[in-house]
Chains A and B, each alone.
Chain A
Amino acid sequence: MSRIALLAVGASVVVGAVGCSAGQPSAQKDENSVYIGAMFDLTGPFAPVGTAERQAFTLAVAQAERDTGIRLRTRVEDSRTSPDTAVKITREYLRDKVSAIVGPTPTQLCDPAHRLSDAARTPMFCITPFPESTTPSLFLVDAPRVTLVGDVPAQFMQKRGWRRVACIYTADAGGKGYADAISRAAPRYGLEVVASESFQQGDTDLTAQLTKIRAAKPDVVYSCSSGANLIAVLKGMAQLRMPQPVFAGHASVNYDLAHLAASNLPEGGVYSDASPVLIPDQVPSGMAGAAKAKQFVDAYVKANGGKRPDTVAGYVADTVALIAQAAKAAGKGDPKSLARRIEKTCGYEGVLGRYCFSPDNHRGLASESNMIVRWTPAGSFRLTEVLSARQTPAPSPSAG
């Protein structure tokens, strides 16, 4: 092969590496300090999510240092929406003896990565609701999948009198997770899944799938996908003149997409669940997380030129705060002490709500209620319903 070809391949690897090595340890190694290794998808299909996560991580680290008075060493890597890269980064972090790992986000990255952190007894916080069960080292700051993407939308659909549900999902672990969760939740709320169609991540034309969905005459379409795939669903529905309301998947809810969706909202409207971070000014008084969410959003907007954070950024902020609080309480940063201390954290109020972990419960967020928003033609969100979590059937138990 010519030298030029080798140089060009090398140059692209260097460009990739620049993106990949988004951060290096922020201080020299110290056995007693707290060292957080983070991985976000800064490139690839999840890059919009990963970029917001990195911005939230930077803010949260500074805030946690101020709140706890302890110094956090950090390193951020680009997991590139690739399971192989996530595994490689996890190995590096474990070799480097990090205190805890934040990320990865997509389910297909979390699954292989957390097996390694389990073996090394190092706490890992995946930023996803999808793992069915947790393990001694896997922690999640999100509600369980069946609750978040199954029960919450099903409960809302039931309240609205929508009985026939159609699901359009991405043919990956995340999309199938949504489809599975709504299929399991539907019978409990008297709903019927009348159509279920798949598409590839990034497909731009979904009219064939939506034509089949239209023929099934659903009352509501559940967009079981993440990111900009929602826009393809809305554009397809507009083309086919489908007036049905759409419930947007949990990982599609952010201001960028609300702006893009504004010109394609169906007659029935687009709805989704929301966290205090998404609508800090509309959170009902007394709801856990409201005050901290407002502070976090203000700081994020200030640091990012007016760009607003989404719920995923909130997960990262709370994860960092929980790790720092646990490290402060433990008095040291070794992974095992940290994991045991996190299990004793109960009552901590973050930007998304109140957390209560235990050895049997590694899903900390204790949702007291769930907010549902309607997407507006102005590219924003309006609070439309607050569902009581007590009405939600008990989630499937985690292995702890």
Chain B
Amino acid sequence: MAETAQFLITGVIAGAAYALLSLTWALVRKVSGQLFFVSGCMVVLGVLGTNALTERGWPMAPAVVVVVASAGAVTLAADVLILRRVARQTELSGTLVMLALAFAMEELLSLGFGPEPRQLAPAVAGPPVSFLGASLQRQQLVIVAATAVLITALVLAGRSRWGKAMRACAENPTGAMLVGIHPTAVRTIGLIIAAALGALSGVLLGPVAAMAPASGFLLSLKGFIAAALGGWGFLGATVAGLFLGLTESLTAGYISSDLKDVVSLALLLLVLLGKDSIRLRRVGRVRISDDRREAPVSTHPATD
């Protein structure tokens, strides 16, 4: 019983971390239609940057503010110099540019901070706490609480005027401009928020995991899987992140730890294949209706 509780708690905590990362992917997908491959780099920047400042005697809070702001500034520069120039190109161009940026950022992080792994001091120090026979680090409670707060804030923001503007820009930039929305500004703000969220995730995860410049990719991949499983919406990505964490933990606990990642990737494949078949059916229906009336077809994913 205690073992089951431990697997479930472990799954929920891992899921919260995946959900946190999936939010960055979902947000960028919403505002730009692009895949945020630099998400993992932002997480690593959060850990390495905060560690570098605190080791130089900075108090934690200002260090976190500076690092999160730096992540936003780096993304703003990348957007102004590169990303917005490919915003209207094909999805493949955007994806390749994001991938190139991720590789370049990993190299730069290694050059700037060194290749060695670093960790952060926990926000709440102390021995592990027990819950239903399972034990967990205090910092993990902070991760779960922070994830809940951030998700709530993003979901509420998504339903605000800004959220509607963001959705309008993603679905129809020209139409959005006609009603007075500035798509480029909305897009840039979305990217900056996603980068800051990534760096903040790093600050939260840094005390429970040592990270090096090369650590971002695997974490980022899990965030991508959760966001894709959840249909690129905030709530969907959160639920998918938790589901992914639980599935991995229970697979490692009751089947085999060798199959943990196989199961999560298989899940992604199944969902993507299922979505493709649903999309094909939808396209078929729309084509039939097009014959009768000119119905608009939205190419962007549904949002919360």
* Chain A residues proximal to chain B, CB less than 8 Å: 1-2, 4-5, 8-9, 11-13, 15-16, 18-19, 42-45, 47-48, 50-51, 171, 197-200, 202-205, 207-209, 211-212, 215, 227-228, 231-232, 235, 238-241, 256-257, 260
| A240: contacting residue among B6, B99, B115, B217, CB under 8 A | B6
The answer to whether A207 touches B214, judged by C-beta atoms less than 8 angstroms apart, is no
In this assembly, does B13 line the interface, its C-beta being within 8 Å of a C-beta of chain A?
A: yes
Contacts of B94 in A (CB 8 A): 5
The answer to whether A19 touches B107, judged by C-beta atoms less than 8 angstroms apart, is yes
Interface residues of B in 100-139 (CB under 8 A from A): 100-101, 103-104, 106-108, 110, 114-119, 128, 135-137
The answer to whether A2 touches B86, judged by C-beta atoms less than 8 angstroms apart, is yes
B272 to chain A, nearest CB (A): 21
B84 to chain A, nearest CB (A): 10
The answer to whether B110 touches A232, judged by C-beta atoms less than 8 angstroms apart, is no
In this assembly, does B149 line the interface, its C-beta being within 8 Å of a C-beta of chain A?
A: no
A160 to chain B, nearest CB (A): 26
Interface string of B160-175 (1 = CB under 8 A from A): 0000000000000000
Rounded to whole angstroms, the CA-CA distance of A36 and B135 in the bound complex is 53
The answer to whether A204 touches B135, judged by C-beta atoms less than 8 angstroms apart, is no
The answer to whether B117 touches A227, judged by C-beta atoms less than 8 angstroms apart, is yes
Identify the closest chain B residue to A234 (Cβ): B210
The answer to whether A2 touches B210, judged by C-beta atoms less than 8 angstroms apart, is no
In this assembly, does B218 line the interface, its C-beta being within 8 Å of a C-beta of chain A?
A: yes
Identify the closest chain B residue to A201 (Cβ): B218
Which of A4, A198, A207, A256 has the most B CB atoms < 10 Å from its CB?
A207
In this assembly, does B89 line the interface, its C-beta being within 8 Å of a C-beta of chain A?
A: yes
Some 18 contacts from A to B, beta carbons below 8 A apart, are: A2-B86, A2-B89, A5-B93, A8-B86, A9-B99, A12-B103, A12-B104, A42-B115, A51-B115, A205-B10, A207-B6, A208-B260, A211-B7, A212-B253, A231-B117, A235-B137, A235-B209, A260-B117
In this assembly, does B184 line the interface, its C-beta being within 8 Å of a C-beta of chain A?
A: no
Rounded to whole angstroms, the CA-CA distance of A212 and B210 in the bound complex is 23
The answer to whether B208 touches A204, judged by C-beta atoms less than 8 angstroms apart, is yes
The answer to whether A239 touches B137, judged by C-beta atoms less than 8 angstroms apart, is yes
* Chain B residues proximal to chain A, CB less than 8 Å: 3, 6-7, 10-11, 13-14, 17, 82, 85-86, 89-90, 92-94, 96-97, 99-101, 103-104, 106-108, 110, 114-119, 128, 135-137, 140, 205, 208-215, 217-219, 248-249, 252-253, 257-258, 260-261
Identify the closest chain B residue to A50 (Cβ): B115
Rounded to whole angstroms, the CA-CA distance of A297 and B181 in the bound complex is 63
Rounded to whole angstroms, the CA-CA distance of A48 and B14 in the bound complex is 26
Contacts of B217 in A (CB 8 A): 202
Known: A5-B89, A204-B205. A231 touches B210 (CB 8 A): yes
Contacts of B82 in A (CB 8 A): 4, 8
Rounded to whole angstroms, the CA-CA distance of A198 and B114 in the bound complex is 28
The answer to whether B208 touches A207, judged by C-beta atoms less than 8 angstroms apart, is no
A250 to chain B, nearest CB (A): 18
A368 to chain B, nearest CB (A): 32
The answer to whether A4 touches B104, judged by C-beta atoms less than 8 angstroms apart, is no
A9 to chain B, nearest CB (A): 5
The answer to whether B212 touches A228, judged by C-beta atoms less than 8 angstroms apart, is yes
Contacts of B205 in A (CB 8 A): 204
Contacts of B92 in A (CB 8 A): 1
The answer to whether B261 touches A43, judged by C-beta atoms less than 8 angstroms apart, is no
Contacts of A18 in B (CB 8 A): 107
Which of A9, A13, A171, A231 has the most B CB atoms < 10 Å from its CB?
A9
| B128: contacting residue among A15, A211, A239, CB under 8 A | A239
Rounded to whole angstroms, the CA-CA distance of A113 and B85 in the bound complex is 42
| B86: contacting residue among A4, A19, A47, A227, CB under 8 A | A4
A164 to chain B, nearest CB (A): 18
The answer to whether B104 touches A205, judged by C-beta atoms less than 8 angstroms apart, is no
Contacts of B135 in A (CB 8 A): 239-241
Known: A11-B104, A198-B257, A260-B117. A205 touches B96 (CB 8 A): no
The answer to whether B115 touches A202, judged by C-beta atoms less than 8 angstroms apart, is no
Known: A12-B101, A12-B104. A208 touches B249 (CB 8 A): yes
Rounded to whole angstroms, the CA-CA distance of A251 and B152 in the bound complex is 43
The answer to whether B257 touches A197, judged by C-beta atoms less than 8 angstroms apart, is yes
The answer to whether B214 touches A44, judged by C-beta atoms less than 8 angstroms apart, is yes
Contacts of A215 in B (CB 8 A): 3
